[in-house]
Structures are given as structure tokens and as C-alpha cells.
Structure 1
Amino acid sequence: MSFEGLQGNRTLDILHKAEQGRYGVLAQVCYDAQSIIALVRSAERMSSPAIIMLFPVTLAYGKGPFLQFCLNIAHQASVPIAVHLDHATDPEHIELAFSLAEEGIAFDSIMVDASHAETDEENIALARPYVERARKYGIAVEVELGRLEGGEAGLRMISDAKLTNEKNADMFMKGTGAVILAPSIGNLHGSYLKPPNFRQDILKNLRTMFKGRGIPLCLHGTDELPDELFRDCIASGISKVRFLPTYLP
């Protein structure tokens, strides 16, 4: 897997160290300055790396000034913190991220989410052009193989979940050129109506496949999961744990 143009990428540095240390890094969706400051200060207090994640709707609202604020507070923190654009499905949001990168205001990483595609081949065809352009700005790209069901604030609702076929994972990552993989293992966006049954075998097979090749695995769909399940997923190969905070009225 080629990492040309991504040397020193902050997200990858954080996740590669997590892979080596066999721990998970919190990647939290943040909507405003207060939640971002809280995440950064908490990470500093715990001497832990973290990843700030913005939904596309938040980027579209705050644009360059808000992204610059996120980058400043993240990159000036006393612990490693990266800034990531989560679940970018619509071309207008990806193009906005690239236009800001042209101005020197670049995300550390972006999730180019084409999991709504009917086939893995269509997913590759949709994602690859964006992955190639992102590299020119030193932006690492995450992709989703399979399809997570459900929806969250700022995300389109998805039905017809599809588990990751780990036999296609190598072809998929080479085809897209992406360097972070979000698998579908029985996880979903939103609340679980019954206890989740995650396919740890898929994670373990992916970890074996990509061992030593620098492809971190990201766990989505973490609402209300028990601590033991987090530990199991990290033991099976997860390095990035995506979290969407729930705000109570």
C-alpha cells in the first residue's frame, strides 16, 4: 500500500501508534467550539491522543474560520490531536474541503463515504478520484467496505446493511487507494434495539490481512456499547473508535 504524500500525516501517525500499542483512540464528533475545547482539554488531562471529527453539515455552516479554529486548537495541544471530516458522502462537501485545502486550511483526514453504492466496484469508482486528489494536500482518506445501517444527526439514513467481505478488502483498499478502513461487522449508526452481535472474526481476519501494512481499522456505530465490547474490538484490531456524543435535554 502506497503512502506517498502522506508522510507525517497526523491522523495516520496517531493511529499507527495505536496499532503498535494495541489501544483504541477516541474519535469524537463535535458540533461547536465548546465540545471541541472539552475534547482537547480532556485528552490533555488524560495524556491521550484524540481525533476531532466534524460532520459535513458542520463544515458547511462554519466553513474556513471554524475549520481553522479546530486545526489551531488541535495542533497546538500538548497531546497528538488530528482533525477529520466524517462521513463525507456528497460531492459539494468534499469539494468544500478541497477548496479550503487550497487555501492552506486542510483536514488531516477525510472519510469519503461511498458505502451507499450497490457494489464494491462502484464504491471504488466513486471514492478513488477523491482519494487521489486528497493525497495532493497530504490528507489521509478513510473508506467503508460494506454498509452500516441506520442514521445519525447530519447523516443520511441508510437501510439494507451489508457486512464487510474481508476477502475483498485487499482489492478494495488497493482500488480506492485509501489508507483507513471502516468495516461493517454488525455495527450500526444510532441506538441498538437489541444487544449487538459483532463479527469479531471479520476484524481479526482484516487485522491479519493488513498486519504490517499500515491500514488502521475504525469502529463506527458505538452508541451505548458496553466497555467489554470496546475492549474486544480493540483486541481484534480496532485502532480508531468513532463516537457520537448524546446530548440530553
Structure 2
Amino acid sequence: MSDWKETNTHLRILRDAEAGHYGVIAAIAYNIEQVHGLIKAANTARSPLIIQFFPWAIQVFDGLLVRTAAEAAKSADVPISIHLDHAQSEDLIRRAAELPFDSIMVDMSHYEKEDNLCKTAQWVQHCNERQIATEAEPGRIEGGEDGVMDTAGLEACMTTPEEVEEFVATGVCALAPAFGNVHGEYGPQGPRLDFKRFENIRECADGRVHLVLHGTNGFEPDLMTKCIGAGVSKINVNRLVLDDYYEHLHAKTGKMPHTQLIEEGIEKVIQLTMKWMDICGSAGKG
């Protein structure tokens, strides 16, 4: 292992989670209130944390929100890494690699297979040269999120063991397999995950890469713990930790002072995030 991988905060968090058989929340943040709430939740719960941003955050805030989060993470009492989720533009990856990210998801899944692998390997090397960990998506996880290209129009393709081997060869640090999970919202029947497929993926990975769970909107606690028991260490969440925040904003905007609205919104993020840290088993592990 390269020396920088030993000290990279993101990779250290994932190694510790795998050794301790728990999952670490990797929460999307859209503003400073959410960043502050997530960090306060991590400090209070004594839990490691991964704060994620979509490319949108770089484009709109010109890197300011990322730099602010990275600075706040340094002052936390627990390990916190800063991750870029679903970086699909090569220009954006180049720009992100100059910001204080501990990890970047090199998402070339909207390209056909050979181009996906080639471009992934190229940008993994680019990030690694800057001591930034990387994540990729073998197969295609359907659906779309904020600022992320919708792949549902492409032929649905769950991850195979062969694809795991191909992506491990790119040098990537973590893989987000497709095994029935979707970006965005699930249909009326809810999530239908293929755990047998995931078991085959894990056996093929054989500890060479960390395994990541995407598409957790609407998950119940028992399904989350089943995924962690199956071997995922990084748990991407969006609505799971932000729903109460948005419900509060919708219900209270214009009905209380703005400062109070912000403060109470932060508290909503803190409490819901701590709940899921407890469910994922990371509370007390920081």
C-alpha cells in the first residue's frame, strides 16, 4: 500500500469500519447548515463521518462550501472525510482534485464499458498522484439525483464478478456495485436487493477494494443493518438524514425569525443523523 493510503482519512475510516463490522454514514450536504449539523452529530455521537458533495456544490459555490467543510472537519473531535460523489465530467474531476477532497468518485458509468474502464483508470491515477482516494461504479445503478446524469435510459446492468475484476485493475479504492439499488426514489414495492449477487461481488473483491452502498432513500433500519452485515462499509445517504430538515423548513418558513429557522433546522439534521449513526453501528467508534 502506498504511504499516502495509510494516512488518507477517507481510507482509514473505511478500514476501521470493516475491521469493526459497522457502516459509516456518507451524507450529502447542500449548505453550511447541513455541514455544521452533520459534524455536530458526529462529535456528539463520537462517530466517524463522511461528508459528500455533488458536483453541483463546486459549480455553484466555486469550491467555497467544500473548503469550508474541509476546514471544519479538521477541527472535529472524530475522523471526518470530504468526498465528491458522482463526478461525471472530466473537467470537473480535474478541478475537484485541486480542492481539499479526501476522496472523489470517478463516475464514468454513463460511457460504454471500455470507455468507462479506460477513463476510470486515467482519473484514478490523476487523483492518486494528488493523494486522493477514489470510488467507481461497476455496472449501472439506475436513476438520477441532483446534478447527476440519469442512467435509467441505458440498459440496466447489475454488477458481475467479472466487472469487479476489471474495476479493481483500474486501481480504484472503493466500488459501488449495482445489485438492485437505485439512485433517487424506489417504486411502490420499495428496495428489492439481490444479496446473493452482492455476496458474489464481495467474494470476488476479496478485500482489495472497499464496498459502498448507493441508493438508500426510504431504507428501513433492518435493511440497512442487513447491508452492513453483508459487507458494505460506506453508506451513502441523502434523504435519510435530511428529511426532517426539509419538513421543518416547509412547515416553519415565514412563521419564525430566520435565525431561529436556521438553528432549529441544524438541530433536525443533528438528531436524524445521530439516529442513523446508531443504526449503522458507528456511534462511539470515533
TM norm. shorter chain > 0.5: yes
1:68 to 2:56 alignment? no
Q: Residue type matched to 2:210 in 1?
A: P
Q: Cα distance, 1:4 vs. partner?
A: 5.8
Instruction: Check the 8 A contact 2:117/2:166 in 1, yes or no.
Output: no
Structure-2 residue corresponding to 1:115:
109
Q: Which residue of the other structure, out of 173, 195, 214, is the alignment partner of 1:200?
A: 195
Q: Cα distance, 1:106 vs. partner?
A: 2.3
Deviations 1:181-231 (A, max 9, x none): 000010001111122211112222232233343x11110000001111111
1:169 to 2:168 alignment? no
Structure-2 residue corresponding to 1:146:
139
Structure with the largest fraction of strand? 1
Q: Tell me the C-alpha RMSD between the 2 structures.
A: 1.5
Instruction: Check the 8 A contact 2:107/2:136 in 1, yes or no.
Output: yes
Q: Which residues of 2 match residues 1-249 of structure 1 at below 5 A?
A: 3=2, 5-98=4-97, 101=98, 105-119=99-113, 121-159=114-152, 160-174=155-169, 176-193=170-187, 194-213=189-208, 215-245=209-239, 246=243, 247-248=246-247, 249=250
Q: Residue type matched to 1:169 in 2?
A: V
Structure with the largest fraction of helix? 2
Q: Cα distance, 1:122 vs. partner?
A: 2.1
Q: Residue type matched to 1:38 in 2?
A: G
Deviations 1:6-54 (A, max 9, x none): 2311110000110111111000000111000000000111111010001
3-state SS, counterpart of residue 189 of structure 1: coil
3-state SS, counterpart of residue 125 of structure 1: helix
3-state SS, counterpart of residue 235 of structure 2: strand
Deviations 1:116-171 (A, max 9, x none): 1222x321111111110101111000000000111112212221321001233123
Counterpart-to-counterpart distance in 2, 1:232 and 1:178: 25
3-state SS, counterpart of residue 233 of structure 2: strand
Deviations 1:89-126 (A, max 9, x none): 0122112112xx2xxx420000010111222x321111
Identity across matched positions, percent: 36
Instruction: Check the 8 A contact 2:24/2:234 in 1, yes or no.
Output: yes
Q: Residue type matched to 2:9 in 1?
A: R
Gaps of 5+ in 2: 251-286
Q: Which has the larger radius of gyration?
A: 2
Gaps of 5+ in 1: none
Q: Residue type matched to 2:181 in 1?
A: N
Q: Residue type matched to 1:30 in 2?
A: A
Counterpart-to-counterpart distance in 2, 1:4 and 1:158: 36
Instruction: Check the 8 A contact 1:29/1:244 in 2, yes or no.
Output: yes
Give 4+ residue runs of structure 1 displaced > 6 Å after superposition.
Answer: none
Q: Residue type matched to 1:143 in 2?
A: A
Equivalent residues, number: 240
